[in-house]
Amino acid sequence: EAQVTQNPRYLITVTGKKLTVTCSQNMNHEYMSWYRQDPGLGLRQIYYSMNVEVTDKGDVPEGYKVSRKEKRNFPLILESPSPNQTSLYFCASSPQGPYGYTFGSGTRLTVV
C-alpha cells in the first residue's frame, strides 16, 4: 500500500531532551515536507526537501532540523525541544509537479 509512515504517533517529552520523529514513504516521491498544525493557524511548513541531500527552510524552521540522506526517509529532529513546539506534526510527500501531497497520520508531540 502506498503510504507515508510517521513514528511515533504520540510523544510526551521534557524540555531540552533531543528527539527525532521519523518519516518514510514508499512511493519513490522526490518531494517531502514537514508541517505543524496548530488550532486557528492551519498547517505551517517547517522544512522541505526536493530530493536527496537537498533541503530548505519553510515558514517556521526555528528549533528544527532535517536531513534527507535517502529518498524514502525524511526525519525531523528537535535538538532542544521547548513547550512552544507542542503541536501536531505531519510529514507529506509528493512527486515532482502539482500532484498534491500524500500525508502521514501525524505525530502529536507534547513538550512539558
Task: Using the rule CB under 8 A, give the single segment among 13-21, 62-70, 74-82, 86-94 that binds another protein.
Answer: 86-94
Task: Using the rule CB under 8 A, give the single segment among 19-27, 63-71, 76-84, 87-95 that binds another protein.
Answer: 87-95
17 three-class SS: coil
By C-beta, is 16 or 94 nearer to another protein?
94
Q: Which residue has the cell 527525532?
A: 20
Closest among 49, 46, 50 to 88, alpha carbons compared? 46
Q: d(Cα 94, Cα 83) in Å, to the nearest integer?
A: 30
- Amino acid, res. 91: C
97 binds another protein (CB under 8 A): yes
Among 25, 87, 93, 94, binds another protein (CB under 8 A): 94
Closest among 17, 31, 15 to 71, alpha carbons compared? 31
Direct distance between the N- and C-terminal alpha carbons of the chain, in angstroms, rounded to an integer:
36
27 binds another protein (CB under 8 A): no
Q: How near is the Cβ of 16 to another protein at its closest, in Å?
A: 29
Contact footprint for another protein (CB under 8 A)? 4, 31, 33, 35, 40-45, 48, 50, 58, 90, 92, 94, 96-106
